[in-house]
Amino acid sequence: MQKLLVWDENRETVLLAISEVVYCETVEEKTFVYARECVFQTALSLAELEDHWGDLGLFRAGKSSVVNLQEIRKLKNCGSGRIEAILSTGERMIISRHYAPMLREKLGM
């Protein structure tokens, strides 16, 4: 299934297409899914998101974040092996030095 079961702030259930996901992060043991206009929550962990939809572009960026590779617009080396990704929404995300080599490989850099 290429849809992700999430809910909004009103606890209304939404089936979100993976292509609509910009990035996901875990805060205080809750997983938030950020789309262009809205923030949702899901019961899945980041590892589960990566396992289920990694082939569709969800990539582990750090211990507490997953990014949709389709939403990355620019990359910038930050030193210490880290990469700064500028997303389609203008938000910036740091790809940790642990995951940076995998990102470079995935993007053919």
Residue-wise pLDDT tens digits, 31-80 = 999 999 899 999 999 999 999 999 999 999 999 999 999 999 999 999 89
Half-sphere exposure (CA, 13 Å, Cβ side) for 38?
Answer: 11
pLDDT above 90 for 27: yes
pLDDT above 80 for 1: no
Which residues are 84's β-sheet partners? 76, 94
Q: What is the pTM of this model?
A: 0.91
Token readout for 58 is 């969800």
7-22 pLDDT, tens digit per residue, is: 999 999 999 999 999 9
β 92-95/30-35 pair status: unpaired
What domains sit in the chain, N to C, each tagged with a CATH number?
Answer: 3-107 (2.40.50.1020)
